[in-house]
Amino acid sequence: MTDIQKPLPHNIELEQAILGAVLVNNNCFDLVSKVIQPHHFFEPLHGKVFEVIGKMVSVGRKADPKTVKSYLPEGERVGEITLGEYLVRLAVEAVAPVQARDYALGVLHHWIDRQIIAGCEETIAGVYARSPDVDPFSASAALEDHLAKLRGDHIGGGSGNLGHQYLEAMTAAQQRKSIAGVPICLDEIAEVISEPCFEAGNLYGLLSSSGEGKTSLTLQMITHALKRGHPVLFMSYDQSGEQCIRQMIAQEHDIEARRQRAGDVSEKEMRKVVDFATWIDRQPFEVVKCTDQTAPQLLSFARSFVKRYGNGNVPLVVVDHIGAVTPQERLSDEGTKAKDINKVFKAGAEQTGAAWLVLNQRNSYGMKRDNPRPISADLFGGDPAKQAYDAIFYVYRYIKFLEERKAVAASDSDWKKIHKAFPSAVIEGEDIAQIGAIKVRFGNAAVKNNLIFEARFTRYKSERQNDAELQEAML
């Protein structure tokens, strides 16, 4: 071993070339600033110069060696030359704009290297200083959070060769004759999101209010995925593993959860319960009961799960629900929290090659509308939170809201609003749920389908299927 400290990764020549290109051609700034920001530069002076250029360009002013010099410390020198002379030299040695982006990626990657090194050093110090009452894995949690945040911040900063990447994906799809993804249990959902499956690397959102059955629908999707050989990780702030299994058995074998809890099952039903419990233990399936985890910590769980259970099929990772995830910046507003959390989840989906499904519990604003059908403002974090999602769909059980409206209806006007907002079949007692889209990447976001909710077994079924077809679809 040696005590010689290696220099931190950096490349001053790359930084100089970028600044020169921007000083000569201000249009190049927009290209480069999509990749790097002032804090990514190793040399503080370079970061300051880049920041000044950015401010000037943003207000439409020309940024060249003469104009930029006016906003930098007067009299400062770079080695044996003045700062003004240094800026001129940068401009003279500028690279072409097409090279500047590649150079910017080099600067970004060196910055990421330095951040990883810093995180590792901090973790090493924490391990050595760990007290007896601290779990050893907790000492490395800060590094996991740090790396997950770096991955989230790095979304969209990829390299070139996009055409080559596209052709590789197209060739792989032709060989498979399908999209790599997790099959969806109900055709109505696939139609609404305009995708045949939950695609690998994509982030999906499911929105509904408490008590509408989003967890019920999620467990149906989980069972369907497991039966087709896909690993599933369910990270829940609400449901325990036992509760999940109980509900899955109710959905699969028509044995109500309340009877299972009380042990009120027949001998024939008991055999079904035992068979299902035995089967589920052989599946690549885990339920993590969450408490106060952050998004990076959930990503750490997912990485570990995929390494242990990866079997060549696209995994499904479910988070229930985003509003319960502990934000890294606790004082941020809800919109910022949602964007930060979703950015980590999107990076996690791409990194693990899994499809991620994040459940959103509706905020209270939508409950007050005459027509309470979900809209994007009902998401955790509101409309701006849509950005990281590839698709968002909702489940809307009319009857839940109908009963609430009927309980407070006090005039003919109230009843007119009820009849306008709710289908006649629901008013007559049918428990129908609507599936619709808040966001889709492809296709028509206006597609809506209905499902039937069987409250006795907390199960959704298609209006297009009879009971025999439903049982066959579950096999």
**Rounded (5°) CA angle 391-362-181:** 25
Token representation of residue 46 = 């370079």
- The pLDDT, as a whole number, for residue 94 is 84
From CA 427, how far away is CA 415, in angstroms rounded? 11
Q: Which phi-psi region, left, alpha or beta, contains residue 38 (left: φ > 0; alpha: ψ -120 to 50)? A: alpha
Three-state SS for 369? coil
Residue 433's beta-bridge partner residues?
397, 451
User: Residue 368: which residues within 8 A CB-CB, separation 6 or more?
Assistant: none
Cα distance between residue 454 and residue 252, in whole Å: 12
d(CA 193, CA 266) in angstroms, rounded, equals 41
Which uninterrupted H or E stretch holds 268?
Answer: helix 267-281
By CB neighbour count within 10 A (0-12 exposed, 13-18 middle, 19+ buried), where does 447 fall? middle
* Cα dihedral 327, 330, 331, 333 in deg (nearest 10): 20
Report which of 161, 159, 32, 9 is spatially closest to residue 94, judged by C-alpha positions.
32
- What are the phi and psi torsion angles at 183 (to 5°)? -65, 145
Q: How far apart are CA 399 and CA 430, in angstroms?
A: 8
The pLDDT value given to residue 2: 47
CA pair distance 417, 407, nearest whole angstrom = 14
pLDDT of the residue at 472 = 52
Residues 6+ apart with CB under 8 A from 249: 255, 257, 260, 272, 273, 276, 277
Residues of 277-299 as b/e, b for ≥16 C-beta within 10 angstroms? Answer: eeebeebbbbbbebeebbbbbbb
- Spatial contact of 186 and 194, defined as CB atoms under 8 Å apart: no
Length of the chain, in residues: 475
Rounded to an integer, what distance in angstroms lies between the CA atom of residue 349 and that of residue 295? Answer: 12
pLDDT at 96: 82
Cα distances (Å, whole numbers) of residue 229 to 21, 314, 450 = 52, 9, 28
d(CA 129, CA 141): 14
Q: Where are the beta strands (DSSP E) in 349-464?
A: 355-361, 391-397, 432-439, 449-454, 459-462
Closest among 148, 111, 115, 143 to 346, alpha carbons compared:
148
Nearest partner of 228 among 192, 269, 198, judged by Cα: 198
Rounded to 10°, the helix 214-227/467-474 angle is 60
d(Cα 293, Cα 281) in Å, to the nearest integer? Answer: 25
307 in helix, strand or coil?
Answer: helix
**235 - beta bridge partners?**
288, 319
pLDDT at 164: 52
Can you give 133-195 as a three-state secondary structure string? Answer: CCCHHHHHHHHHHHHHHHHHHCCCCCCCCHHHHHHHHHHHHHHHCCCCEEECCCHHHHHHHCC
Q: Which residues of the chain have pLDDT under 70?
A: 1-5, 152-178, 366-367, 465-475
Long-range contacts of 443-451 (CB under 8 A, 24+ apart): 443/193, 443/194, 443/195, 444/194, 447/191, 447/192, 447/194, 448/192, 449/188, 449/189, 449/191, 449/192, 450/188, 451/186, 451/188, 451/395
Residue from 40, 102, 37, 93 nearest 65 by CA: 93
Looking up tokens 């999101």 gives 193
Cβ contacts of residue 447 below 8 Å, gap of 6+? Answer: 191, 192, 194, 436, 437
- Taking the mean position of all CA atoms in its chain, how far away is CA 446? 23
- Rounded Cα distance between 374 and 436, Å, is 9
